[in-house]
Amino acid sequence: MKIGIVGCAGRMGRMLVQTVLVCESANLSGGTEHSGSNALGSDLGALVGLEPTGLMVSDDARALFSASDVVIDFTTPMASVFHAGLAAETGTALVIGTTGMGADEITRLSDAAAAACIVQAGNMSVGVNLLSGLVEQVSAILGADYDIEVVEMHHRHKVDAPSGTALMLGEAAAAGRGVHLDAVSQRVRDGHTGPRNSGDIGFATLRGGDVVGDHSVIFAGEGERLELTHKAASRSIFANGAIRAALWTKGRAAGLYSMKQVLGFD
């Protein structure tokens, strides 16, 4: 399959380029960056410290979609929505690992998915998606007698909070209880807050250093506490999951899919 990378000069973009170049089941079709990027015109292989490929970083996303079977996007919510529109126009599959997506962006992705195969997830890691499935099951089994807290830590450069993965885990916990996360989410505690509301799903956000991503879901009951944790040591796990999702889209009908469907959990 011909795989293109948008945002190819970013931290995740470079990791994705590197991963595609060594993947036996795929060929790199190109990479794009925003206008004005210092990476424009650079050879994609040289950009990631590998042999030159003859493919240069461009700012023409539409041309990249036309030249690709599937495009992988770890950019920003606004850019991802734009790229979803290009996917719908060209019929090219799209894999989105962008975090910080809101309800409006998800709705627009769903609209674009009427004409293209789109896989969207707050985290592309196989382990994290397995954790999400476990969280939903545990939440359903333990019930409302156990308080749920989601704790996450990322590097100092991360701009959104809570992380997309933390929100995904919160959604899984809420689904296990048969409630909507928006109705029970508690994201800020400061000052004299009073006692914890029964049924709330709390979030705690930590930032510092070069932490790739740590997530824990804590079920705190009377006399015992259960903690489910995932720690990412390298961004390669996200790139590997995204490539797996990209290969999965081959021959897939238009629609908005999740990593659970890619991995066969759903």
Residues with active-site annotation: 154, 158
Tell me whether strands 224-232 and 213-221 are parallel, antiparallel or unpaired: antiparallel
Cα–Cα distance between 67 and 65 in angstroms, integer?
Answer: 5
Calpha distance 23→189 (Å, rounded): 45
Residues shown for the chain: 266
Greatest pairwise CA separation for the chain in angstroms: 62
CA distance 108 to 110: 5
Alpha helices in 22-153 (DSSP H): 44-47, 61-67, 77-90, 103-112, 126-142
Using a 10 angstrom Cβ sphere, with 0-12 exposed, 13-18 middle and 19 or more buried, the burial of residue 136 is buried
CA separation for the pair 50, 75 (Å, rounded): 23
